[in-house]
Amino acid sequence: MPLEMNLDQQATVTLAITTNTGKPAKVDGIPSWEASDTAVFLVQAAADGMSGIVAAADTEGVAGLLTVRADADLGEGIREIVGTLEVRILGGEAEFMTLTAGTPEPKLSVNPL
């Protein structure tokens, strides 16, 4: 499921690295985080690389890919694993309406209604 957010939002993304049996896997080193297009979103990984903040950039109505790479011990030695998450920056949607009345003036001789 993609991460969808507006231009004024950010979200925390957390890693869960597991073996094929669902048990936690040991991570060797710090995972690396990368945004496919920094015009779509920016990413700032935590110091340990196990989470990061994803923030919308300045372009709405586009999508990009967050890629995280880590070396993990899955029980058969250390190997690189890769996770991806689609990030969609939504365009602004109509949410509010403002009605502004003009200054009252005399009616015309013919009723316009």
Beginning with the edge strand found earlier in the chain, give each strand of the sheet holding 62-73 in spatial order: 3-5, 78-89, 62-73, 26-35
CATH 2.60.40.3440 is right for the domain spanning 3-89: yes
* Statement: residue 103 has pLDDT above 90: no
Using only C-alpha atoms, the chain has a radius of gyration, in whole angstroms, of 24
In which band, very low, low, confident or very high, does the pLDDT at 110 lie, cut at 50, 70 and 90?
low
Work out the number of other CB atoms within 10 angstroms of the CB of residue 21. 7
Rounded Cα–Cα distance for residues 86 and 41 (Å): 11
Which tens digit of pLDDT belongs to each residue from 34-51? 999 999 999 999 999 999
